[in-house]
Structure formats: C-alpha cells, structure tokens
Amino acid sequence: MYQNILIPVAPDHATSYNQAMNVARQLVDPKGKITALTVLEAIPDFVQAQVPHEIYTNRVAEAEASLKSDLGGVTDVEPVVVSGHSYRTILDYANEANVDCIIITSHKPEFSDYLIGSTAARVVRHAKCCVVVLR
C-alpha cells in the first residue's frame, strides 16, 4: 500500500481521471493521501512581463475550478494546480511532496511522441518513485 499517491491530470484529458482514481483507491493505504495535480504550462518570462497579473490569477482559478469539477466533490483527494513544464513539474512536485507512487494515464503514441517523447514516458524514465501507467 502507498502512503502518498499523485495523479497528474491534464486539463484536456480529464476524462481519463476516473480510471486513475479507481486504481489509486485500490493502492492507497487507509491512512494514505491522494493528490490530483494539474500543471499549467509556464508563460515565458518575456510574455509574462507584458501580461496583467490578473490574467494569470484567473487562469489558475479556472484550472482549480475545472479540477475540482472533474473530481466531482470527492473529499479524499487534494486538488493542486501549479505552473511549469509538465513532466519536470510533475517530477519536482513528487519529490518535494514525498510521493511514493505516481499514477499517470497515457494515450496511444503518435509519431511526434517517438521523436520528443510523451509526458508519461518522461515521468517513467526519471521518477524516483513507483509509476503506474494506464492506457
């Protein structure tokens, strides 16, 4: 059983969340914790300097509301929204939060994934904890 499970939820792939949540509930210790993490792509510094701060704040608030909606009001999952580059931010969050298992969904690889790699593939290669990949 795992004490601290992380489920990365891409804003445009939230429908696969239910499958990951079912697996997480089977693997989590009764006293364990499940976190759903959405990563908003970082806005480049040269653009961020020109954009009013309210736009970024609204973007985060919308992502948080969307994630909470995807969770359906469950109380056993902590929703978290952070900004950064997807796979690197997932790994950094997992390390900082002492996550012992990441449950991530992956789509069928497309041609571009063979060239640059998918987020799930990068998480699997670089994670310091167990990773469960669901298709």
Could you tell me the CATH number of the domain that includes residue 42? 3.40.50.620
Instruction: Kindly tell me if the per-residue pLDDT of 115 is higher than 50.
Output: no
Dist. CA 60–CA 54, nearest whole Å: 10
Domain that residue 106 falls in: 2-134
Q: How many domains does the chain have?
A: 1
- 27-81 per-position pLDDT tens digit: 999 999 999 999 998 878 787 778 787 887 888 899 999 888 888 888 899 999 9
pLDDT for 15: 58
**Distance between CA 69 and CA 99 in Å, rounded?**
24
Q: What's the burial of 34, exposed, middle or buried (CB within 10 Å: 0-12/13-18/19+)? A: buried
